[in-house]
Structures are given as structure tokens and as C-alpha cells.
Chain A
């Protein structure tokens, strides 16, 4: 057994409506790696997670989780993975402690060991005081933390987290991030995370793959991905809105620039040396009598990468069935 994930030409077509949710996806996740899977709604993220966690079978390609084929050895895969899906999987009529003990016993822990494991996990997710309350009375953040504890019951080598912080307030989100980071760094747990929060992927992940329309469109470290579109982002607005398009044309022809995107009235220019090129840009625009209202020089975020690759802005906080 190992903590790796290997995916080769994975495909999934749903019979209903003949929907090709995943067309051709290949990637590898190393043992102990924190891997993030990014994509807009309907890109195929959740379908990939469902295949890797044995909930559905692929219609093409193959996938190995912890060294086991997900289609042929689903039982073995389930023993080695912890999964937190988009919706928390808890019974509102049980207490937090009962829920963890039940999960532990299903994973083969004897009763006493299950109790001890519940003690440990309740402490980790800071639910000791609420452990005897019914889950139906828990807040969204508490349920999410309990859900995380349930995924950890059997000390899995690989954790799958499908948008684990969607709908959480910032403090709960930070608490989950901290715990995931600890598990990854201290325990060496491999983490496979899907998210729409680019900040999340940027701060946690060692490597990121971006999926769009059932295909992987980019893979790399956050730094590598950012480098693909230039080190700096210059964002300009103009006194007259209509000047944005003229300015884009002027810069493309005179400075031979290719990475320009018009978005919501802004002209976004991706360059390698922002400070130096900003002066040139201002000069060219001035020559064309295009009046700049504001300038902003910053490092591109993963939002920018995402927009550039998929031509679609991230819809933060929305539900995804992708």
C-alpha cells in the first residue's frame, strides 16, 4: 500500500443525456503530496473524485489509488482513503461521538478502541464539549469539522476532499486549512483537494491541475502556473470606457504584446517585468491620446491564470456538481 494516485486517460460518460463529464484526464499524485484540482462548475472535478473514491465506475481509462485499481478493487481502495464530499455525510440524530464511534467500528475497530479514537479525533477537531450533543444542533462549521474527523477515523494514507470549505465562514475555513496542513506535513498524508477557492489552492497545494470541460488544461506548482502567464499583471482603466478596446489594439500592434485581456472594463496585461514595461505602455497610450484613469501593478493570482486558461472567471462560493 502507498499514498499515491495514478490516473491514466480517465473518461466518464453518463448514460443519461449522454453527458461526457470527463473526457480524457491523466495525472499522478505522489505520496505525501498536497494536490489541488481546480475547475469551474461542471468541469468534471467531482466526477473525477467520485471515480477515485469508488462511488462510480469510469467508462474509459484507469485509475489507481493507494496502488489499487479503483474499478477492480474498490473494497481495498475504501480501506485506504478518507473522503469528505461536498455535502457532509452525518446523521443529525446521532451525537458527534456516536457518529465517530460508529464509523470506527465499521472500519473494524473494536468498541473500546473506537471510543479511544473518538476521544482523539474530537480533541483534534475541537468538538470535545459538543460531543454529546446531537449533530442536528451543530452549526455548519461544526458539522464540517466532524465530517473531517470522520474521514480521519481509520488513519487513511490518502484524503479526498471535495470543496471542503464551501459555505464556511473565514474562521472555520482557516481552521480546516490549518488541520489539513498539519495532516499533510506532520503525518505525511496525501491530500487531493478540489476547490473553487483559488486562495485555498494557492496557499495549501504543492501542485495544482486545472480541469475544464472534462480535460486537464494545466498542471504545475502555483509558482509555475503563475509563471506561464508572466510574473506581473498590469491592470488599467480608462476615462472613457470605449478606449479599452482601442488601447488593446494599440499595445498589440506597437509593443507586440499578446497577453492582453479585457475584463469588466479593465485592460489586464500580463508581463514579465511590470515596472519597466508600465512606462512603455503609458508612453504608447499617451501617443494615441488614450487617457488612463487608474493603473495597478500586481502579481497575477490563480484567478488570473484560471481566467486566461479557461476564458471563464471563477464563480466563488457557488455550488458545483462538476
Chain B
């Protein structure tokens, strides 16, 4: 018998690779989400781009303004896949089979989350390519595009943590997917279609202020439209750090319970 110490990095890679393979073999698990996000981008750009003529926009490109909405909605939908993948593994016994091996327990939970992140990365690239073809211009060039990808993946990680946590807690695929739906209102209770100054309803202004999605949108928009404005960008980074701390802790506690031998 070959005996080697189990390495958390190697185990994580093996399990992540397997999750990537299964995702690629089920293209319909991610294509509809991607199509809807691209559809949002086209429709919003086609239907609402006229409002960028308003003085508050200061001549900014509406495509760059609306792009973060499309990216974040793709991130939410895609992140639900991490949780669903875990539930599928629990249901078909693969999760138990992994628990019966010496594989690192951390790797068993991290694998699907990292695979989900990579999926998000590719999705974000796809949407960026469409946006580029539609005429997207970045005030900060390639560096700004990289920052947008980083923010998208980071925000997706926060959702994936939540989705994985719900999956490990409920062991129910519908619950894992439905869990991410509660994040959809966050997209719209924000500076989704117009800048903060143009929001009419006072309650929506309050909601937008306390909604972390606002800071994600604004950091992406700042880098695409205004340039490298450190504190504006940092607000998005902080929002991600706080959200990830909460959801990844939730996922870790749920995972500990799921793999515990009580």
C-alpha cells in the first residue's frame, strides 16, 4: 500500500479539479445564468442608456455604469452553484465517500467553493468581453478591468460561502439555490440604474446607503469611469471583506457540523 501524508493543497486541487470537470459536463447548470446576465446588460444598455445624458452623469458611459449590475447578478446566480454542487454530492453519496478517505476535511469543503470562484471568474470575463464589444471603455485601462474581476470574484465568494453554508446545513438543493435569491433584492435596493443623487424615494436612499452592494457597484464604476480613487475603491473592498467574513464563517461552522462525527 502506498502511504503518503495527505496534503491540504493537493487534496484541494484534486477536489476542485473534479468540480470543474463536473461543471463543464453540465453546461446547462451555468449557461442560463450567463445568458440572463448578458441579456440584462444588453437590455439595460439598449433601453436606459439615454439617461446618461442627464447632467448628474457628467457624460459618463452608461455601459460602464450598468455593467456592474450585470456582473453582480451573474455572481449571485453562479455562486448558488457551489451550494447545489455540495448538496448533489451529499445526495449521491460522493460526500460520504470523501469523508471515508484521509482527504483533508478543509479540502472537501473548499474544493466546490474554489471551483465556484473559477466559474465566476470565467463568467465575469465573458460579460466583460460582451461589454467590450458593445463599446466599453475603462478609465483605468486593463488594470481597472482586473480590479472589476477581483471585486466580482470576491463578492461571488461571499455568496458562495452563504450558499455552501446553507447546503451543508440543510442538505437540500432547493434551499441552497433559494438561499441566493434573498440576495437579489440587494441588487435593486441600490444605485442600480441611476446614481445615488437621482434616487427619488427617501426609503430607497436609506436602503442604498446600508446595502453593501452599493459599495460594490460604486467601486466598479469608479474604476471604470473616474479612475483610481483609492478610498472609493476601498469601500468595495471593505464591503467584500466584511461579507466574506460573515458568510465564510457561516460556511465553516456548517461544514464543521456536517463533517463532525457527533
Taking beta carbons and an 8 Å cutoff, which residues of A are in contact with B?
15, 53-57, 74-75, 78-79, 81, 83, 85, 87-94, 98, 102-103, 105-109, 113, 134, 150, 154-156
Look across to chain B and name the residue whose beta carbon is closest to the beta carbon of A103: B101
- List residues of chain B with CB within 8 A of the CB of A83: 100
Look across to chain A and name the residue whose beta carbon is closest to the beta carbon of B13: A105
Look across to chain A and name the residue whose beta carbon is closest to the beta carbon of B17: A102
Shortest Cβ distance from B259 into chain A, in angstroms?
A: 9
| Cβ–Cβ contact A55 & B100, under 8 A | yes
- List residues of chain A with CB within 8 A of the CB of B93: 85, 87-90
- List residues of chain B with CB within 8 A of the CB of A94: 18, 21-22
- List residues of chain B with CB within 8 A of the CB of A154: 1-2
- List residues of chain A with CB within 8 A of the CB of B18: 91, 94, 98, 102
Cα–Cα distance between A53 and B102 once the two chains are bound (Å): 12
Main SS class of interface, A: loop
- List residues of chain B with CB within 8 A of the CB of A74: 261
CB-contact partner of B97 in A79, A90, A92, A108, under 8 A:
A90
The contact sample of 24 A-B pairs, CB cut-off 8 A, is: A55-B96, A56-B262, A74-B261, A75-B6, A75-B102, A78-B100, A78-B101, A85-B93, A85-B96, A85-B100, A88-B93, A90-B93, A91-B94, A92-B92, A93-B21, A94-B18, A94-B22, A103-B97, A106-B6, A107-B101, A108-B4, A109-B2, A113-B2, A154-B2
Cα–Cα distance between A103 and B14 once the two chains are bound (Å): 10
- List residues of chain A with CB within 8 A of the CB of B103: 106
Q: Mark B224-262, 1 if CB is under 8 A from A, else 0.
A: 000000000000000000000000000000000000011
Look across to chain A and name the residue whose beta carbon is closest to the beta carbon of B100: A83
Look across to chain A and name the residue whose beta carbon is closest to the beta carbon of B101: A106
- List residues of chain A with CB within 8 A of the CB of B21: 93-94, 98
Cα–Cα distance between A150 and B94 once the two chains are bound (Å): 11
Shortest Cβ distance from B136 into chain A, in angstroms?
A: 35
Taking beta carbons and an 8 Å cutoff, which residues of B are in contact with A?
1-6, 11, 14, 18, 21-22, 25-26, 89, 92-103, 261-262
| Cβ–Cβ contact A106 & B11, under 8 A | yes
Shortest Cβ distance from B252 into chain A, in angstroms?
A: 20
| Cβ–Cβ contact B102 & A79, under 8 A | yes
Cα–Cα distance between A226 and B103 once the two chains are bound (Å): 43
Q: A56-B261, A91-B92, A93-B21 are in contact. Are A150 and B2 (CB under 8 A)?
A: no
Query: How many contacts between A and B, using CB within 8 angstroms?
Result: 85
| Cβ–Cβ contact B261 & A55, under 8 A | yes
Which of A57, A106, A108, A156 has the most chain B CB within a 10 Å cutoff?
A106
Shortest Cβ distance from A46 into chain B, in angstroms?
A: 12
Cα–Cα distance between A55 and B4 once the two chains are bound (Å): 22
Q: What 3 A-B pairs are tightest by C-beta distance, nearest first?
A: A89-B97, A108-B4, A89-B93
Cα–Cα distance between A322 and B101 once the two chains are bound (Å): 23
- List residues of chain B with CB within 8 A of the CB of A98: 18, 21
CB-contact partner of B262 in A57, A103, A107, A108, under 8 A:
A57
Which of A83, A93, A94, A107 has the most chain B CB within a 10 Å cutoff?
A93
- List residues of chain B with CB within 8 A of the CB of A106: 6, 11, 14, 98, 101-103
- List residues of chain B with CB within 8 A of the CB of A85: 93, 96, 100
- List residues of chain A with CB within 8 A of the CB of B100: 53-55, 78, 81, 83, 85, 89
Shortest Cβ distance from A92 into chain B, in angstroms?
A: 6
Cα–Cα distance between A231 and B1 once the two chains are bound (Å): 45
Q: A15-B262, A90-B93 are in contact. Are A107 and B99 (CB under 8 A)?
A: no
Shortest Cβ distance from A132 into chain B, in angstroms?
A: 13
Cα–Cα distance between A57 and B259 once the two chains are bound (Å): 11
- List residues of chain A with CB within 8 A of the CB of B6: 75, 106, 108
Cα–Cα distance between A57 and B38 once the two chains are bound (Å): 49
Shortest Cβ distance from A121 into chain B, in angstroms?
A: 14
Cα–Cα distance between A92 and B18 once the two chains are bound (Å): 12
| Cβ–Cβ contact B2 & A91, under 8 A | no
Look across to chain A and name the residue whose beta carbon is closest to the beta carbon of B6: A108
New A-B contacts (20) at CB < 8 Å, excluding given A55-B100, A93-B22: A55-B99, A56-B262, A57-B261, A79-B1, A83-B100, A87-B93, A87-B96, A89-B92, A89-B94, A89-B97, A89-B100, A91-B18, A91-B89, A94-B18, A94-B22, A106-B11, A106-B103, A107-B101, A134-B25, A154-B1
CB-contact partner of B14 in A53, A105, A155, under 8 A:
A105
Look across to chain B and name the residue whose beta carbon is closest to the beta carbon of A117: B2
- List residues of chain B with CB within 8 A of the CB of A107: 2, 101-102
Cα–Cα distance between A243 and B48 once the two chains are bound (Å): 91
Look across to chain A and name the residue whose beta carbon is closest to the beta carbon of B5: A108
| Cβ–Cβ contact B261 & A93, under 8 A | no
